[in-house]
Amino acid sequence: MPYLFTSESVSEGHPDKVADQISDALIDNFLAFDPSSKVACETLVTTGQVVLAGEIKTDTYLDVQKITRDVIRKIGYTKSEYMFEANSCGIFSALHDQSADINQGVDRKAVSEDFESRANAQGAGDQGMMFGYATNETDNYMPLPLDLAHAILREMSNIRNNENELMPYLRPDAKSQVTIEYSDDHQPIRIDTIVVSTQHDDFADDETMLAKIKEDIINIVIPRVKAAQNVELHSLFTDNITYYINPTGKFVIGGPHGDTGLTGRKIIVDTYGGKGAHGGGAFSGKDPSKVDRSAAYATRHIAKNLVAAGLCDQVLVQVSYAIGVAKPCGLYVNTYGTAKVDLHDGEIATKVEELFDMRPYAIEQRLKLRNPIYSETAAYGHMGRKNEIVKKTFGSNGHSKEVEVELFTWEKLDFVDKVKEAFGL
């Protein structure tokens, strides 16, 4: 019997995402000047106020106030009527040194500087389990409902920042939600419902304004989202989609003034929109020694390469760790019965363990995670993004540094041939 599945996304101006972006901007700046930095940075944003808290081990000094204000300004909180504005908000920093008790399990001294010695010396930054997921229902191997929910808000952000005359009333805070009907064999049939709530300027005539917002989203935003999809997906955009646009009415008060934001509260938006599974750990604000982040990227890398190689139509990969221990406690694979090889999932997992070194240091090296690559992850999902090389500039203590980095390395399909060889595909 056909079924419905729903995923949501939030814009870069959503208060939780504001917090995530500040935390990850701090991570990038620490790593740019000291790649060995250990950082766990939490951010709270509310009316006119930012609070930074967390543990740092680094050899560099940063102007955290300037970094924070730059992030808020880039997001678009630049007007006093927002009640949260880049130049005037208060910023309180409670960052302090990392616990030596935690650090001793992560930074054990290697016997030598060779790869094996360092990989065995660096233990996991915490215990826990992390999941990666991939499906062949989209070109980027992401679940379609989440992919479309992200796409709607990215297009609205593009309009707000680059074509403001089209929808000049848009403010930074927004949410979207997409419900898709699937067939018995898990193929998308149609889009059932689209929900969009967007913050907007205040107007004297609320009823007219709400009608205008709905009309613009349906007639401007959705056609652009549709056009950006593969032709095979165009048929999903029927005339029978149910739209809920700002269903509660006016949405003038938003952002950190409308709702307090915290780092790490949008972990399902950050990953797979509810598909697969989630270990519970947030990503933003954590350097890659924290396996909550690095191992989640590594399991996504595994899952995407397995599906891209044709091993299965969809797959969930789990890895788990003990704090201070390099070797994972276990690796689990679930192909949901879609495997194209005559092997049980446990046998597939054994082969995967041989292909992918999941020790924390090995993950850091394989995916180049000790680089300042995290600001780009902090809005519109950490997975399914474009792998590319970019140049970024950072400033500290009056010094400027330009670095070339590779973004979203966990989205590379660089293990497809190895998977095919290992499984005889």
Q: 12 labelled as ligand-binding?
A: no
Q: 174 labelled as ligand-binding?
A: yes
Q: Do residue 396 and residue 361 come from a single domain?
A: yes
Give the Cβ contact number of residue 283 at 10 Å.
Answer: 25
- What confidence tens digit (pLDDT) does each residue in 188-244 have? 999 999 999 999 999 888 889 999 999 999 999 999 999 999 999 999 999 999 999
- What confidence tens digit (pLDDT) does each residue in 53-77 have? 999 999 988 999 999 999 999 999 9
Cα 123 from Cα 326, distance rounded (Å): 4
Band the pLDDT of 107: cuts 50, 70, 90. Answer: low
Q: Do residue 243 and residue 295 come from a single domain?
A: no
399 domain-assigned:
yes
Q: Do residue 329 and residue 412 come from a single domain?
A: yes
Give the Cβ contact number of residue 113 at 10 Å.
Answer: 7
Q: Do residue 408 and residue 294 come from a single domain?
A: yes
For residue 211, what is the enclosing H or E element? helix 206-216
* 388: β partners: 407
φ/ψ of residue 17, rounded to 5 = -75, -30
Band the pLDDT of 108: cuts 50, 70, 90. Answer: low
The CA angle 136-137-143, to the nearest 5 degrees, is 100
Q: Do residue 75 and residue 190 come from a single domain?
A: no
- What confidence tens digit (pLDDT) does each residue in 377-417 have? 999 999 999 999 999 999 877 778 999 999 999 999 999 99
60 domain-assigned:
yes
What was the pLDDT predicted at 118?
Answer: 85
354 domain-assigned:
yes
Residue 310 CB-density burial (10 A; 0-12 exposed, 13-18 middle, 19+ buried): middle
260 domain-assigned:
no
Band the pLDDT of 3: cuts 50, 70, 90. Answer: very high
The yes-or-no verdict on residue 161 having pLDDT over 80 is yes
CA distances from 203 to 135, 168, 210 (A): 44, 12, 10
Q: 199 labelled as ligand-binding?
A: no
Q: 42 labelled as ligand-binding?
A: yes
283 domain-assigned:
no
Q: 32 labelled as ligand-binding?
A: no
Q: Do residue 217 and residue 315 come from a single domain?
A: no
Please name the amino acid found at residue 155. E
Cα 108 from Cα 104, distance rounded (Å): 6
Question: Residue 20 sits in which domain range?
Answer: 15-117
51 domain-assigned:
yes
Q: Do residue 89 and residue 159 come from a single domain?
A: no
Q: 175 labelled as ligand-binding?
A: yes
Whether the full predicted model's pTM is greater than 0.75, yes or no, is: yes
Question: Which tokens hold the place of 106?
Answer: 């992560």
Cα 377 from Cα 274, distance rounded (Å): 18
Q: 270 labelled as ligand-binding?
A: no
Q: 286 labelled as ligand-binding?
A: yes
Number of domains, the chain: 3
CATH number at residue 192: 3.30.300.10
Q: 84 labelled as ligand-binding?
A: no
